Structure 1
């Protein structure tokens, strides 16, 4: 269950990061509220997952999921350009997250 919580928390990291970008310095109410709620839920989930998953592994996976989804969302919405190089780098990041999960289970 900790891994599910960690993955959801990583998704929420992408939500709060994207909302923060749209809040224009927390001056827009709706994105600011989305940012605050997603931030609290994301951090809470990370803390909960870290009860059973080692800190380094949990944090790296949380950041990796959040970073990959944030960049993908930015490319989908047109906020950032889509390039093959970006796509390959995101695939590498996802591969590293999967590797951490697999090696974390082995120890």
Structure 2
């Protein structure tokens, strides 16, 4: 699920065309917030270095 959210916010960032299209910009911001929410939940159980390494690998 987390990977799909990451793909979604990256894709909507492109579709928003530098935040000039409000619908895609809004969806993008919501997906970024959800992504960070899941990241903070994960940090409660897994060390920061491990979480960051996985998060970076998902963005490749």
TM-score range, shorter chain: 0.7 to 0.9
Supply the RMSD in Å over aligned alpha carbons: 1.4
TM-score normalised by L of structure 1: 0.51
- Which of 43, 60, 63 is residue 56 of structure 2 equivalent to? 63
TM-score normalised by L of structure 2: 0.84
SS in 2 for 1:25: coil
The higher relative CO (CA closer than 8 Å, separation ≥ 6) is in 2
Moved over 4 A (4+): none
SS in 2 for 1:35: helix
Query: Considering only CA atoms, is the larger Rg found in Structure 1 or Structure 2?
Result: 1
In the alignment, structure 1 segments of 5+ residues that lack a partner are 1-7, 69-107
What number of residue pairs does the alignment pair up? 60
In the alignment, structure 2 segments of 5+ residues that lack a partner are none
